[in-house]
Copies of this chain bind each other. A is one copy, B any other.
């Protein structure tokens, strides 16, 4: 059966890195992978054409796809849009919500070849390999009521941080299963000393624990987790947390590696359908210059092959190709260091394809 893959380049550097992913998909097809690739518009570039960050057509295509590859969305061009519902980010959030992509997997791992790129001392990050499991379709991102309104003669802004037991349980199971496949340690991050919603979160995690006796569950307050990531990141194996804390901590964790331009992510729903995207953003400041690092996007293809298409061998081929390109000393600007060869987005794409 032919898998449908939807490629959504998005904004900023999105189209440039998506172009390299498209070449890689073609190479996979030539190597025997049975996929059909379509493209679509999302984010600011969709707004510019359709007046909507998530046009109905894109959503239709997304629903019909086995997997989605997304570049990045957003940029200063659309930051001034008064109507929040038209902003590029709503395209991304709409895809997550409409497809039920509640399980966000954000690995933060250090490539040995790039150890010096980290801002942390080498001994603290050597071999770093954390998996952050972030809930992606609930919490304060989607909670109601929300808005800005007049109360007692002045405006107030408000959002609602809310989780139900079933939402927590669902993401908890993803995290426990992930821990079983990895180092068997799961740290659940909350703010249970202040927020009721995270008291419930902690309680549900505790309730699940006996079903996964091989996994060691611990709890950490979010402020402490932010500290511990800076102090001694290797203490973590799998981390599970809600949408907002996950947004913050996964970015901090990714940056610990010094090479966020290398990190892919997956967002999965209950039927294994997934959206794959780089952890980095749309980087409008370097868009259109052929300098962005396409590797996170190309590794997102590998992650897609592994998690949604069950094509482990092909995924490994891509990862090995990336590894050998790094071994050969090729670097885009973001990961450049002394004694390496600086290459452009397209040249990096070329090199990965040549090694594939």
Q: How far is the CA of A239 from the CA of B269 in the complex (A)?
A: 37
- Residues of B within 8 Å of A224, CB to CB, are 251, 281
Closest 6 interchain pairs by CB? A157-B200, A157-B197, A158-B162, A227-B255, A226-B252, A223-B251
Chain A interface, DSSP helix/strand/loop, else mixed? helix
A161 near B: Cβ within 8 Å? yes
Partner-B contacts on A (CB < 8 A): 74, 84, 87, 89, 93, 119-121, 124, 140-141, 143, 146-148, 151, 154-166, 191, 193-201, 222-224, 226-227, 229-232, 244-245, 247-252, 254-256, 258, 260, 281
- Residues of B within 8 Å of A195, CB to CB, are 140, 146, 157, 159
Known pairs A223-B247, A227-B254 / 9 extra A-B pairs, C-beta < 8 Å: A89-B193, A119-B120, A120-B120, A121-B121, A140-B195, A155-B164, A155-B200, A158-B197, A191-B247
B251, A159: Cβ atoms closer than 8 Å: no
- Residues of B within 8 Å of A252, CB to CB, are 226-227, 229-230, 252
Q: How far is the CA of A248 from the CA of B141 in the complex (A)?
A: 18
- Residues of B within 8 Å of A87, CB to CB, are 193
Q: A161-B161, A162-B156 are in contact. Are A249 and B226 (CB under 8 A)?
A: yes
Chain B residue nearest in CB terms to A158: B162
Q: How far is the CA of A199 from the CA of B199 in the complex (A)?
A: 28
Some 27 contacts from A to B, beta carbons below 8 A apart, are A74-B193, A89-B193, A89-B194, A120-B230, A140-B195, A141-B194, A146-B196, A148-B197, A151-B164, A154-B166, A155-B200, A156-B162, A156-B200, A158-B160, A159-B162, A159-B195, A159-B196, A160-B160, A222-B247, A223-B247, A223-B248, A223-B250, A223-B251, A227-B260, A230-B230, A230-B256, A231-B255
Q: How far is the CA of A222 from the CA of B249 in the complex (A)?
A: 10
B148, A196: Cβ atoms closer than 8 Å: yes
- A103 CB, min distance to chain B CBs, angstroms: 19
- Residues of B within 8 Å of A120, CB to CB, are 119-121, 230
- Residues of B within 8 Å of A89, CB to CB, are 193-194
B146, A157: Cβ atoms closer than 8 Å: no
Q: A119-B124, A247-B222 are in contact. Are A163 and B157 (CB under 8 A)?
A: yes
- Residues of B within 8 Å of A158, CB to CB, are 143, 160-163, 196-197
Q: How far is the CA of A258 from the CA of B230 in the complex (A)?
A: 9
B160, A198: Cβ atoms closer than 8 Å: no
- A26 CB, min distance to chain B CBs, angstroms: 33
- A309 CB, min distance to chain B CBs, angstroms: 29
A194, B163: Cβ atoms closer than 8 Å: no
Chain B residue nearest in CB terms to A93: B194
Q: How far is the CA of A260 from the CA of B223 in the complex (A)?
A: 13
- Residues of B within 8 Å of A256, CB to CB, are 230
Chain B residue nearest in CB terms to A151: B164
- Residues of B within 8 Å of A231, CB to CB, are 119, 255, 258
- Residues of B within 8 Å of A157, CB to CB, are 162-163, 195-201
Q: How far is the CA of A258 from the CA of B200 in the complex (A)?
A: 33
